[in-house]
Structure 1
Amino acid sequence: MTLPDHLLAFLRCATPQAWVRQALQHPEELLIDHANCEKKAASTALNLMFRYIDKPDLLQKMSRLAREELRHFEQVTALMNKRGVAYRGLSASHYAQRLRQHVRTVEPGRLIDTLIVGAFIEARSCERFASLAPHLDDELADFYRSLLKSEARHYEDYLKLARAYADGPIDERIAFFAEVEAQAVREDDTEFRFHSGAIDSPA
């Protein structure tokens, strides 16, 4: 599946090839942290459902999203079991925090920014699955390609909700987070994670 042009345009930069090389050198950490990301994505959706109970569209979309992310978690852990990869704790990457530290604390800005950040995380996940797939074994490549459609829809859902609940245009806010997200992707990291930045030396 080819990624939609609007998703690629949404992201200011492509995943560095240094990260792809690191992913191929850390197959266990790739799967473990992918599972962690799916679990965190479900948690984020559920948190939004509990925080914004007065927004029916958000409740419906986040409920579906949480179910899909948990299903992905089950699929990743099943692959891990098949490959003899034990699920273990990993430290979180700094990627999400680099974005979320800029989320406003007063409503409705808090909701709008949280949804925009969600859109970027989903779009980047989708782009990384597509970047990795050509380099993986057939089973894992097929699995990652199978995730592209839902991850792309999740990005679109977050963005549509952000526009729907904003009291005006949000293009400037999206542009701001686009720069923050691109910087997070280019930032040097010492440990490989699914959303880590560029890593040029062995971790």
Structure 2
Amino acid sequence: MIELNQYQALLAPINEFLYCPTPQQWVTEAAKAENLEVILTDHLLCELKAGQSAMYLIRKYAVDTSSTSNLLDWFKPYEDFAYRKVGNLQTLKGKSHISKAIMAKSDSPYSQDLIDKMVLLIKEELHHFYQVLEIMQTRDIAYEPIPASRYAKGLISHMTTHEPQTLIDKLIIGAYIEARSCERFAKLAPHMDEDIAKFYISLLRSEARHYQDYLALAEDIAGHNIDERIAYFGRLEADLISSPDSDFKFHSGIPA
């Protein structure tokens, strides 16, 4: 796949950052036609959750009260669709760009950089949500909500409970989730139909930037070397990816 070969330089630091590659057993399972529905549905929900995680970060740490309301309004049509099955592809069209102001708290030491990076990430994740839904519609795959895999919960359960380390841990976890997503899109693309393959390849650049943004924010907010903490979560993430998993999803481990 020529297009994918052009991205090898972009993928190299991601493959170095991750502590293990996606096992071939997962790729083989994900490439099966009968698993396309769960892959697309879980991918759809992962895009929403990635946006929600970014929104939570800036709501909790960076924005003023009016901006919190604006953020909730931004997500409402997507959450209505995903959790209440209200709306459709047409009602979501053009909703990924926020039209209201997002303002920083005056007393937050890292507000603006966090806001700038996370708002861009949210726009892209919500647009990707729409694109996955388009692909599902072209294949007559009706959306039905499915439970989340163990992956994100398995990382979040190891976060520190005191600030600012909690925020730093959340950002490190975000970096690993984005990096793994990027790596899996690259692994899956050669096995997918042409339209999905092109879509997955188109996601590589933004997913790679998301991982870098999360990591840069974690390092800036910490103000000291956090290599040991990054490595700690890297080992946890690799264990979740390389250990047997009975629940097949986009971020699951080796199919049991």
TM-score between both structures, scaled by the size of structure 2: 0.77
Q: Decide which structure has the larger Cα Rg and report it.
A: 2
C-alpha displacement at 1:167, in angstroms? 3.1
Q: Which residue is equivalent to 1:167?
A: 223
For 1:23, the equivalent position in structure 2 comes to: 30
- The counterpart of 1:76, out of the listed 123, 132, 143, is 132
Match of 2:179 in 1: 123
Give structure 2 stretches of 5+ with no counterpart. Answer: 1-6, 63-107
Q: Where do residues 35-184 of structure 1 align in structure 2 (5 Å cutoff)?
A: 35-53=44-62, 54=108, 55-184=111-240
TM-score normalised by length of structure 1: 0.96
Shift of 1:191: 1.9
Query: In structure 1, how many angstroms separate the alpha carbons of the residues matched to 2:220 and 2:12?
Result: 22
Deviation at 1:152, TM superposition (A): 0.2
3-state DSSP of counterpart to 1:140: helix
* Moved segments of 4+, more than 6 Å: none
Deviations 1:117-168 (A, max 9, x none): 0000000000000000011111110000000000000000000000000031
Query: How far is 1:4 from its partner?
Result: 3.0
CA contact (8 A) 2:11 2:183 kept: no
2:18 alignment partner in structure 1: 11
Query: How many correspondences in the alignment?
Result: 200
Q: Is the 8 A contact 2:48 2:125 kept in 1?
A: yes
The match for 1:32 is 41
Counterparts of 2:60 and 2:170 in 1: how far apart (Å)?
Answer: 12
Structure 1 residue 94 displacement after superposition = 0.2
**How far 1:16 moved relative to its partner?**
0.6
Question: Offset of 1:70 from its aligned partner?
Answer: 0.2
Corresponding residue SS for 2:31: helix
Can you give the 5+ residue segments of structure 1 that lack an aligned partner in the other structure?
Answer: none
Tell me the SS of whatever aligns to 1:168: coil
Cα separation, 2, equivalents of 1:138 and 1:167:
44
Aligned-pair identity (%) = 50
Question: What SS class does the counterpart of residue 148 from structure 2 fall into?
Answer: coil
Q: Which amino acid in 2 is paired with 1:48?
A: L
The 10-residue stretch of structure 1 (2-11 or 71-80) with the greater mean CA deviation from structure 2:
2-11
Instruction: Show the counterpart of 2:246.
Output: 190
1:105 match: secondary structure = coil
Structure 1 residue 5, shift from structure 2 partner: 1.9
3-state secondary structure, aligned to 2:255: coil
